[in-house]
């Protein structure tokens, strides 16, 4: 409320405040608000100064942002121009990270400025081998070897049917058969063999030839034993050049690991020309790789990234004794042998009653005997049967047989396994060494197989 005696003489209106302190021009007391009138902001008041400062700060901020944006845009154009002309230091893909992934760090080269920094991630280039594997898998096979396992217990010999698994590579075909290369040790004990193809079908396999000193064997499957669907699923592998390999080169190993079926492992070339002597006394040079090569992988393919066969895997060295050290026979070193074996007649077992014999009694010259007596390894002729093929061909006691029908033979078993494919009356080629004046000289003769000799 106001005092009626407290009247503004200038306006005739009551006022609030000290009547001694009013503006004589308007009659409004200093600091007072006239009743019924809007508030008055005199020039130079605190409220008007604060608003001006705020507007000035906003304008300055807008100007700073404009100039900063122009500067960033200019630098970015220069940087992108330099990046486009700069040399490449490697391939990398910069991709936006999805909302489900974690934020990663970008690379200082080649970043897309349109992608927010928090979504830039660097991913290394991955080698995709799926197409290579898909192309070569139809040329890979699994091999099952059926044999008799003999054991001696308390002077008695017992035999039982057994089997083992390995791998092979289809390397050729004729009008009548598919030709497969594998390791000799995969099929060396076989009484019978079966091959399983990519579609799961199985067929009997037949021997074409072996080269034990190089651990190479060539077998075949008759097309007449295969369905049309299997034939359409099969491919022939391409042989590459192992001489051009370099350390660190990526390789792929495919084989029937542990007999479970075809599996794929990858690695690099760890070493070249590794000289290794196997348990049978043969020495050769091999490709060393860290791709896993397990039992059953023997005879399978070591491939380059073009899908070419550059080696034949072998688990004969190392085996489970070491890790990260697998070996393969360099394909270039055995190409000539493979071609020779491929060209031979396919061998079909003859009936046991009709099996031919050379006409000798023999003793195996093992590596130990060879070293002790300083004689060549092979099959020692301890006696020549009268009236047999060997006698007619001129073999003598003391001769050492080293080859049969072009295949090296170093043990009694290796010769017996080849003999089962030849009947009485067949002509065969036999290679032997004869001691002539203290030096062993090689001879080759053709002989006619006869009937099993009767020992006197």
Active site residues: 185, 215, 298
Per-residue three-class SS string for the chain: CCCCCCECCCCCCECCCCCCCECCCCCCECCCCCCCCCCCCCCCCHHHHHHHHHHHHHHHHHHHHHHHHHHHHHHHHHHHHHHHHCCCCCCEEEEECCCCCCCCCCCCCCCCCCCCHHHEEEEECCCCCHHHHHHHHHHEEEEEEEEEEEEEECCEEEEEEEEEEEEEEEEEECCCEEEEEECHHHHCCCCEEEEECCCCCEEECEEEEEEHHHCEEEEEEEHHHCCHHHHHHCCCCCECCHHHCCCCCEEEEEECHHHCCCEEEEEEEEEEEEEEECCCCCEEEEEEECCCCCCCCCCCEEECCCCCEEEEEECCCCHHHCCCCEEEEEHHHHHHHHHHHHCCCCECCCCHHHECECCEEEEEECHHHHHHHCCCCEEEEEEECCCCHHHHHCCCCCCEEEEECCEECCCHHHHHHHHCCCECCCEEEEEEEEEECCEEEEEEEEEECECCCCCC
């Amino acid at each position: 409320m106001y005092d009626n005696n407290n009247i503004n003489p200038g306006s005739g209106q009551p006022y609030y405040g000290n009547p001694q302190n009013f503006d004589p021009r308007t009659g409004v007391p200093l600091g007072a608000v006239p009743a019924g009138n809007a508030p008055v902001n005199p020039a130079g008041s605190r409220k008007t100064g604060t608003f001006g400062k705020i507007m000035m700060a906003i304008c300055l901020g807008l100007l700073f942002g404009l100039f900063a944006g122009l500067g960033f845009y200019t630098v970015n154009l220069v940087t992108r121009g330099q990046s486009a002309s700069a040399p490449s230091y490697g391939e990398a893909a910069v991709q936006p990270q999805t909302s489900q992934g974690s934020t990663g760090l970008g690379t200082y080269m080649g970043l897309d400025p349109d992608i927010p920094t928090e979504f830039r991630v660097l991913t290394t280039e991955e080698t995709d081998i799926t197409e290579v594997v898909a192309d070569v898998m139809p040329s890979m096979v699994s091999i099952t070897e059926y044999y008799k396992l003999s054991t001696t217990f308390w002077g008695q010999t017992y035999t039982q049917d057994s089997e083992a698994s390995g791998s092979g590579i289809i390397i050729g075909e004729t009008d009548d058969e598919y030709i497969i290369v594998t390791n000799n040790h995969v099929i060396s004990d076989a009484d019978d063999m079966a091959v399983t193809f990519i579609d799961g079908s199985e067929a009997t396999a037949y021997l074409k030839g072996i080269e034990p000193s190089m651990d190479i064997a060539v077998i075949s499957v008759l097309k007449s034993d295969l369905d049309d669907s299997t034939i359409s699923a099969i491919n022939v592998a391409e042989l590459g050049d192992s001489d051009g390999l370099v350390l660190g080169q990526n390789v792929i190993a495919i084989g029937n690991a542990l007999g479970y079926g075809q599996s794929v492992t990858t690695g690099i070339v760890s070493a070249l020309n590794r000289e290794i002597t196997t348990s049978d006394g043969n020495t050769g040079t091999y490709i060393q790789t860290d791709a896993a090569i397990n039992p059953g992988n023997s005879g399978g393919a070591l491939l380059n990234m073009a899908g070419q066969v550059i080696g034949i895997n072998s688990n004969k060295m190392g085996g489970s004794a070491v890790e990260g050290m697998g070996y393969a026979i360099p394909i270039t070193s055995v190409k000539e042998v493979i071609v020779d074996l491929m060209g031979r007649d396919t061998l079909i077992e003859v009936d046991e009653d009709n099996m031919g014999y050379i006409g000798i009694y023999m003793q195996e010259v093992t590596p130990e005997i060879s070293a002790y007596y300083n004689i060549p390894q092979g099959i020692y002729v301890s006696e020549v049967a009268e009236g047999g093929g060997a006698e007619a061909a001129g073999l003598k006691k003391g001769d050492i047989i080293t080859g049969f029908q072009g295949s090296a033979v170093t043990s009694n078993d290796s010769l017996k396994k080849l003999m089962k494919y030849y009947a009485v009356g067949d002509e065969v080629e036999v290679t032997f060494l004869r001691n002539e004046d203290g030096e062993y000289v090689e001879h080759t003769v053709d002989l006619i197989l006869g009937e099993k000799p009767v020992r006197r």
